[in-house]
Structure 1
Amino acid sequence: MSLIAIKDVSLTRVETLFTGLSFSIAKGDRLGLVAANGRGKSSLLRILAGEDDATTGTVTRRRGLIVAAAPQDPPERLLSLSFHEAVRDALAPDVAEIESWRVDVLLDDLLVDDSIRGRAIRRLSGGWQRTMLLARAAVVEPDLLLLDEPTNHLDIGRIGVLERFLAALPRDCAVVAASHDRAFLDDVTSRTLFLRPEDSADFSLPYSHAVQALEERDAARERQFENDMRKVKSLRQQAAKLKNIGINSGSDLLVVKTKQLSERADQLEERARPAHLERSAGTIRLTNSGSHAKALVTINNTAITTPDGRVLFRIGPSWIENGDRVALLGANGTGKTRLVERLRAALTASDPDIRGATSLKLGYSDQALSQLDAFATPWEAVKRLSSLPDQLTRSQLAGAGVGIDAQAAPISRLSGGQRARLAMLLLRLAQPNFYLLDEPTNHLDINGQDMLESELIAHGAACLLVSHDRAFVRAVATRIWVISEKRLVEVDDPAPVFDRLMSG
């Protein structure tokens, strides 16, 4: 018997998120859940967890099924608790009283340092909060573990810990992971469900192979639809011709034949279905204002330090040329963000060891999208950074996925995906020729990641990016910088670096 079975389920909020959805989850399944931002992944996980109801359809659970979920953000009531207390809180009081050792064993498995275990959740980074939510879900020893964007805010090393932890779960424990991290999905899942408003698709394949199968299926259905519509057109042309002949000749047989042809055309047209057309959550478009300078950024011998002066790593003579797309890799705490901050400060002010070309125009985005905090609303952000007329402002925001009703609302009300796309719109309006991007794929769905990759490559703008998204780095980077043994070195292939960082 399945752990859980979904039959003809639909969910409607402001719009229909999905309909006619049927699938089941068996013991040991590893299912990746894929959809664009705002298309119902989190809602489906809540339905599976029994925390929300579908609009129509049935959800059947095996008797005694234990389901545990790790959501994207911790609930308010946990923020004042320590990491250890928040995980222990997931246990029933009687179990926590006699088996609290389970928490310590689990935190050992997740490589959570003692210094982290006693800190309040509100004082921890997003990555450690994600780890706490995973631990809360796992400590109850569930039959079905539900993960909502589990790699967001995790560096590559912590993603490695997560993947090893999931691989070590009991064989019977099923996992459903809603994620935009393509490499993670390939590593941990063997099945992929593409969630769509209609005609969702379930393949017994990891993401990369599943998306190829989906594209082939959609292409075949589009060919079938076009063929069916050609037949419909031909039948109607024949019916019209026979009708004219029948009217002129007075033949009842031709009138009957005409009716039969028209009915066949109607039936075929009613059955014909066009292939699914994915509606984008918002377009990402960038630009490159260009520069005649060969080297946009020149770095002399220098050291990257902590605020109190401790050396994190040293850099020998380095430069970023026009068109270079440099990915910066390194373990957590080695100084990636400190280098980004140093570069940003040097390129907006002055630095004796880091110099930007006179023609350099900087476009900057950090992983928290804090550049948006300077604006009250999306409308204000665009109007302050551009001279666009009102109608074009509305159009640009709508194209980026910020609808008319959200354009004058506080930015804080936007979803993570909308905030990310708004940040990309503001970058384009700044018309940079050098992009400094810290975790730019955070909150972007796979379609958004593909658009960002294509735009960076197509326009040839120079950039330095920090990213834990292995697929994104492989697709975009032309150069790889690595922080290793307190030195910045350049390597040709990121694969060994990824392997080393993932293995810890």
Structure 2
Amino acid sequence: MSLLAIKDLSLTRHICLFSGLSVSIVKGDRLGLVAANGRGKSSLLRILAGEEEATSGDVTRARGLVTAFAPQDPPEHLLSLSFHAAVLDALAPEVAETESWRVDVLLDDLEVDETLRGCAVRGLSGGWQRTMLLARAAVVEPDLLLLDEPTNHLDLGRIGVLQRFLGALPRDCAVVAASHDRAFLDDVTHRTLFLRPEASEDFALGYSRALQSLAENDAARDRQYENDMRKVRALRQQSAKLKNIGINSGSDLLVVKTKQLSERADKLEEQARPGHLERSAGAIRLTNSGTHAKALVTIDDAAIATPDGRPLFKTGRLWIEKGDRIALLGANGTGKTRLVERLRAALVGEDRHIRGAASLELGYSDQALSQLDAFPTPWDAVKQRGVLTDHQARSQLAGAGISIDAQAAPVGRLSGGQRARLSMLLLRLSQPNFYLLDEPTNHLDIEGQDMLEGELAEHGAACLFVSHDRAFVQAVATRIWVISNRRLVEIDDPAAVFESLLSG
């Protein structure tokens, strides 16, 4: 049974985000919504939730349909409430008064610790704010659950909780999830909608298989377009030849035939459609300044501790060599970010347990992209990082997806995807040969993730990174370090670690 149907839906802002979209969502659907940053995914979810209007088209909802939407960020009025109160706030007052127990049961299902339930939303991490928003949506027991980037800021343990929670929803409950997390989409969805300005594609397949089918469809359209255009050229050549013969011979029949061929060519050309060409949200380009040192970083049994001195683990004796791309894995709270911070401090200062080669040039990015906070505008960020002319600075920023208008605007107005691309641009301008990256894919769309994967592999710069993105780890890492039982150990295959972290 159809819960919701959209017909010929279009949305235009400063550009057309999507048009002619017709999709039905039925009971039990698990639909993944995929598009580049800024291409209308969040807007489409808000339209489905009834919070925003489309430019044109129709949305038909089943009688009595209960829809709930978990956005990316909490609205202002929730920030001063506690975690528990923010979830309770989603219920109608009369229900909240008599059935507050529903919140407690739900937070138990989502494995929210009792100590967090009384904390103000404003003070929660990004991951816990996402969990709160999911709980607010789920507590109303919806028929249709809409999720906007639900895994962003979640570690693998919390992603595992989320996946188990979605798997345990009532069979009739439909879920639409906009996400850039490829492994998550493969695990929880069985339909995929690729949102495009024209001719969006809907496949009854999980993400990876749907992507393969999409590529095959695009390739077939490209071949058909080339065939059609060859026919157009042949018709025009034949028309031109007959036209010359007709003029010279004075034949009215040839003049008519010439006109018919020309009209056929025009009609065929008008109907021909090339394969989809995705407009990039901005390029990601990295570099490797190179080094003659074999070992860029030497770690000699460093003790990693919390800020208040509580010991977390010991590293043992390890090396990072040229070309190594090391993924650092471990459960939440085991000390991944603490090791990254210790490495960064050691490589720009002194540490008797951690030493960098004399030729090491560090490029660092944290998961909050706080390195951007030092700059009032993207223009200032680029101009202060290198010896670029004004023309070069404008060109570099535009290439990273930051328009001329946005270049002089406050950095805080950039979208998450734009901030991520700006941080990668600043990394490249610093000319590093060793990248230290904490959750580098947090704000990147799938196109950006693919670019980053390719750049790290192509340039061969050494890298140590923390990531919950399983697809990214599998594509990039040449070595795997895992924090386990208060030790840092190296393993060959991350699959067992992923399974362990997801299962909790």
Q: Same-fold call, TM > 0.5?
A: yes
Q: CA deviation at 1:189?
A: 0.3
Counterpart AA for 2:210 = A
Superposed displacement of residue 390, structure 1 = 0.2
Q: In the aligned structure 2, how far is the partner of 1:283 from the partner of 1:25?
A: 34
In structure 2, the gaps of 5 or more residues are none
AA at the equivalent of 1:279: R
Deviation at 1:251, TM superposition (A): 1.1
Return the alpha-carbon distance in structure 1 between the equivalents of residues 475 and 51 of structure 2. 38
1:477 equivalent to 2:477? Answer yes
Q: What is the match of residue 43 of structure 1?
A: 43
Structure-to-structure mapping, 1:82-101, within 5 angstroms: 82-101=82-101
**Whole-angstrom distance in 2 between the partners of 1:139 and 1:307:** 36
Instruction: Give the structure 2 partner of residue 9 of structure 1.
Output: 9
| Counterpart secondary structure, 1:3 | strand
Give me the whole-angstrom Cα distance separating, in 2, the residues matched to 1:15 and 1:237: 37
Amino acid at match of 1:223: R
2: CA distance, partners of 1:180 / 1:471 = 11
Match of 1:154 in 2: 154
**1:308-319 correspondence runs (5 A):** 308-319=308-319
1:135 and 2:125 aligned: no
In 2, the alpha carbon distance for the partners of 1:323 and 1:297 equals 12
Q: Does 1:458 align with 2:458?
A: yes
**Match status 1:295 vs 2:295:** yes
Hey, what's the Cα distance between the residues in 2 that align with 1:175 and 1:234? 50
Residue of structure 2 in register with 1:176 after alignment: 176
Aligned positions of 1:21-420 closer than 5 A: 21-420=21-420
Q: Helix, strand or coil for the counterpart of 1:444? A: coil
Residue matched to 1:490: 490
CA positional deviation for 1:438: 0.1
- Report the Cα offset of residue 450 of structure 1: 0.1
Matched, 1:426 2:426: yes
* TM-score normalised by length of structure 1: 1.00
2:72 counterpart SS class: coil
Q: Give me the whole-angstrom Cα distance separating, in 2, the residues matched to 1:18 and 1:39.
A: 8
What letter corresponds to residue 428 of structure 2 in structure 1? Answer: R
CA deviation after TM superposition for structure 1 residue 250, in Å: 1.1
User: Post-superposition shift, 1:310?
Assistant: 1.0
| Equivalent position amino acid for 2:179 in 1 | S
- Counterpart code for 2:242: L
Partner Cα distance (2:315, 2:112) in 1: 31
Letter in 2 for 1:163: Q
Q: Which moved more, 1:13-22 or 1:43-52?
A: 13-22
Q: Percent identity?
A: 81
RMSD, aligned CA? 0.5
**What is residue 445 of structure 1 aligned with on the other side?**
445
Q: Which amino acid aligns with 1:138?
A: A
Q: Which amino acid in the other structure matches residue 399 of structure 2? A: G
Structure 1: how far apart are the matches of 2:123 and 2:177? 26
Q: Deviations over 1:86-109 (max 9, x none)?
A: 000000011111111110100000
Question: Deviation above 6 Å: which 4+ runs of structure 1?
Answer: none
**Partners of 1:374 and 1:243 in 2: CA distance:** 69
In 2, the alpha carbon distance for the partners of 1:49 and 1:309 equals 47
What CA distance in whole angstroms lies between the structure 2 residues aligned with 1:267 and 1:379? Answer: 48
The Cα of 1:15 is off from its aligned counterpart by 1.1
* Residue identity matched to 1:39: R
Deviation sequence 1:139-163 (CA, Å, 0-9, x none): 0000000000000000000000000
Instruction: Please state how far the C-alpha of 1:433 moved relative to its aligned partner.
Output: 0.1
Letter of the structure 1 residue corresponding to residue 108 of structure 2: D
The SS at the match of 1:490 is strand
Separation (CA, whole Å) in 1 of partners of 2:301 and 2:409? 47
Work out the CA distance in 1 between the residues paired with 2:286 and 2:349: 25
- Secondary structure of residue in 2 paired with 1:54: coil
Deviations 1:214-271 (A, max 9, x none): 0000000000000000000000100110111111111111111111111111110111
Superposed CA offset, 1:102-131 (max 9, x none): 101000000000011111111110000000
Q: Deviations over 1:338-372 (max 9, x none)?
A: 00000000000010100000000000000000000
- For normalisation by structure 2, the TM-score amounts to 1.00
The AA in structure 1 aligned to 2:334 is T
